[in-house]
């Protein structure tokens, strides 16, 4: 049975989240440049969130993954679980790293940490939403335009 929508909401959410991370990664590089990859300096930030080139690269890659995953329901579910696990782990790491510069190789501050928790929660919603739709309506993705 085909999905009731060409692009179910978890896929649209993965696309929007992916595009946001992609753009944040790109704009972050305009702030940090490409040197001092593991820089720890909370004075280097984008809209109050500390960044360094590694942090920007992670955002960029997650953005690409989200946009690519949005093309299929199974991939969207995997992307959601990856956000839960990845950002959940980074949140826990950030609880320590935000206060201990010696281990803070991603330049995480408390604002970042809060956003990492929100990102994990969004990932959980995406993963569970994709699983619910896949279980209810089937995991078969809708046909692409021009295919039968």
Domain positions in the chain are: 12-137
pLDDT above 80: residue 138: no
Instruction: Give the integer Cα–Cα distance in Å for 68 and 3.
Output: 19
Contact (CB, 8 A) for 11 and 68: no
> According to the model, what pLDDT value does residue 1 have?
44
* pLDDT tens figures, 75-99: 999 999 999 999 999 999 999 998 8
> Would you say 79 and 65 are in contact if contact means Cβ atoms under 8 Å apart?
yes
- Determine if the pTM surpasses 0.95: no
* Segment 31-40, tens digit of pLDDT: 898 988 887 7
CA distance readout (Å), 57 to 24, 29, 49, 63, 75: 10, 8, 15, 10, 21
pLDDT above 70 covers a percentage of the chain that reads 90
List C-alpha distances in Å: 95 to 21, 23, 51, 113, 147. 22, 26, 16, 7, 49
Tokens 């929660």 locate to 121
Question: pLDDT exceeding 90 applies to what percent of the chain?
Answer: 64
Q: How far apart, in whole angstroms, are the C-alpha atoms of residue 82 and residue 67?
A: 14
Q: Which residues contact 134 (CB under 8 A, 6 or more apart)?
A: 73, 74, 77
- CA dist., res. 109 & res. 27, Å (int): 18
């Amino acid at each position: 049975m085909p999905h009731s929508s060409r692009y179910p909401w978890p896929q649209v959410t993965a696309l929007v989240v992916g595009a946001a991370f992609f753009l944040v990664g790109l704009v972050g590089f305009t702030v940090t440049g490409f040197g001092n990859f593991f820089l720890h300096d909370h004075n280097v930030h984008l809209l109050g969130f500390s960044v360094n080139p590694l942090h920007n690269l992670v955002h960029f890659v997650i953005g690409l993954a989200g946009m690519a995953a949005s093309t299929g329901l199974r991939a969207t579910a995997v992307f959601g679980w990856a956000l839960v696990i990845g950002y959940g782990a980074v949140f826990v790491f950030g609880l320590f790293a935000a206060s201990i510069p010696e281990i803070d190789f991603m330049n995480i501050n408390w604002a970042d940490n809060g956003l990492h928790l929100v990102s994990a929660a969004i990932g959980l919603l995406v993963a569970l939403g994709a699983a619910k739709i896949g279980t209810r309506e089937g995991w078969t993705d809708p046909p692409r335009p021009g295919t039968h």
